[in-house]
Amino acid sequence: MAITESAKKAIRQSAKRHEQNVVYKDKIKKLVKEARALVLAKKMTEAKKLLPEIYKAFDKAAKVGVIKKNNASRHKSRLTKLIDKKI
């Protein structure tokens, strides 16, 4: 266990950041899962309508540093390609 005050504070900061990061990642996972389910169900119009919300979630996560910018870009690109290919 941490002994110094600075180590204790670092643990508190790490826990708080972890909670915030999990919120962003869960939102992304939920949206992507929903989009993939719509694609499998051949509901392309609904999947296309979900894209802006997915983009927003990825961009926000990249902006605050939860994921890297290129990671967000890659995922957005692959998801868009998947939806466009199925049309």
CATH of the domain at 45: 1.20.58.110
Q: How many domains does the chain have?
A: 1
pLDDT digits (tens, 9 = 90+) for 8-39: 999 999 999 999 999 999 999 999 999 999 99
> From CA 17, how far away is CA 26, in angstroms rounded?
14
Query: Any residues with CB less than 8 A from the CB of 80 and at least 6 apart, and which?
Result: 51
pLDDT at 71: 97
Instruction: Give residues with Cβ within 8 angstroms of 71, minimum separation 6.
Output: 62
Neighbours of 19 (CB within 10 A): 9
pLDDT band, residue 41 (cuts 50/70/90): very high
pTM for the whole structure: 0.87
- 52-75 pLDDT, tens digit each: 999 999 999 999 999 999 999 999
Q: What's the domain range around 20?
A: 5-85
